[in-house]
Amino acid sequence: MKAKNALLFLVSCFMMLSCSDVEPIVVPSSSLSPTVSHSGARMFTTYAPNGTSVTTTDVDPSILGYFQHYWQNDPTTLLGNNSKVSCAATSYMMAANCISLYKGLSYGANATKQQQIFNVVGANANLYQLWAYGNNYNASFLRARLLAVTYSRETLKSWIENYLAENSFIIVGVNAYVTNASNLVHNNEYYSTSSSVNPDVDGSTLPQKYIVSQAIGTSSNGYGVGGHVIIITGLNKNNPAGTGMITYIDPISKGHSPSNRKYVSYTRLLDSIIANSSGGYRVLAISAL
């Protein structure tokens, strides 16, 4: 019995240490040394007395520590009005730059690189175009993998979860209140994990929610729904329900202190992906070679 109690104590300590890990701020970090190898994603499961559990999967901090956030509408951008439709190019750029820095290379998350990518993939680029760009231009240091259109929600969930576990940045198209929403997109509540603060986390139908499953062109309170592209970096999944919370980076948001992470419910994200994809699911995974 004493041995059993000791084991339970050690497990409890491990769970507390895992849950209290301080997430790295998504900004450049000079304290990390480049490396050409990478370990598995940070993954751990915490258990509740009722038999349920939460599995957390994040891109490993040793990689994410190199992430540089670039606001797609930065005043220094070279794209002018096209910056408003450059979320796909900007998302890809941020993911590729993070991987390159982790590998000890120089890529760039800046106006010049943004324009270079945009000149190839164009306005409102789809994920297939980003996949082709990665394989044609950056295959020396990253791997781009595309899930073609599938109508299986479970296939999509497995794909996202498996590639997150391999330290991939997951790039997805969603629908969001991005039209005429210059202030909405920067609201502090979307950076909160609290369901009482962030309407995107609790699945509320309040009009100020950001990620939505409504069709493009739908309007509410002066905000219009448009297509958008974001980068998923983590997932807290509730077992066995399969629901949870997604961590993501938003290229249309300015830098935010202390972290650039935003949060949305897993269910809302999946609904938004299918609304954006005209009836099917398509997602892109970008990872280091």
CA distances from 282 to 137, 145, 146, 279 (A): 21, 11, 7, 10
pLDDT at 62 over 70: yes
Mean pLDDT of 139-146: 96
**pLDDT-based confidence at 29, cuts 50/70/90?**
very low
pLDDT of residue 264: 94
Amino acid at 67: F
Q: Enter the tokens of residue 280.
A: 């099917």
pLDDT of residue 5: 44
Query: What is the helix (H) or strand (E) element at residue 42, kind and residue range?
Result: strand 42-47
Name which of 178, 261, 276 is nearest 224 in CA terms: 178
- State the distance between the two ends of the chain, measured CA to CA, in whole angstroms: 48
Contact of 69 with 27, CB cutoff 8 Å:
yes
pLDDT at 233 over 50: yes
Amino acid at 3: A
User: Which CATH code for domain 26-288?
Assistant: 3.90.70
Contact of 280 with 212, CB cutoff 8 Å:
no
The Cβ-side half-sphere exposure at 209, using a 13 Å CA radius, reads 22
For residue 208, report the phi and psi dihedrals to the nearest 5 degrees: -85, 5
For the chain, give every domain's residue range: 26-288
**pLDDT-based confidence at 181, cuts 50/70/90?**
low
Q: Enter the tokens of residue 238.
A: 């509730």
* Max avg pLDDT among 130-144, 206-220, 233-247: 130-144
pLDDT of residue 93: 97
Mean pLDDT of 199-222: 79
pLDDT of residue 279: 67
pLDDT at 193 over 60: yes
Residue % of the chain over a pLDDT of 70: 81
pLDDT of residue 98: 96
pLDDT digits (tens, 9 = 90+) for 73-125: 888 889 988 998 999 999 999 999 999 999 999 999 999 999 999 999 999 89
Among 4-18, 67-81, 162-176, which stretch is predicted with the lowest mean pLDDT? 4-18
pLDDT at 59 over 50: yes
Burial group, residue 66, by CB count within 10 angstroms (0-12, 13-18, 19+): buried
Residues contacting 170, CB < 8 A, separation 6+? 160, 163, 164, 231, 232, 233, 283, 284, 285
Residues contacting 104, CB < 8 A, separation 6+? 34, 35, 36
What mean pLDDT is reported for the chain? 82
Our CA dihedral for 22, 198, 27, 243, rounded to 10 degrees, sits at: 70
Stated pTM of the model:
0.84
CA-angle at 150, arms to 89 and 135, nearest 5°? 35
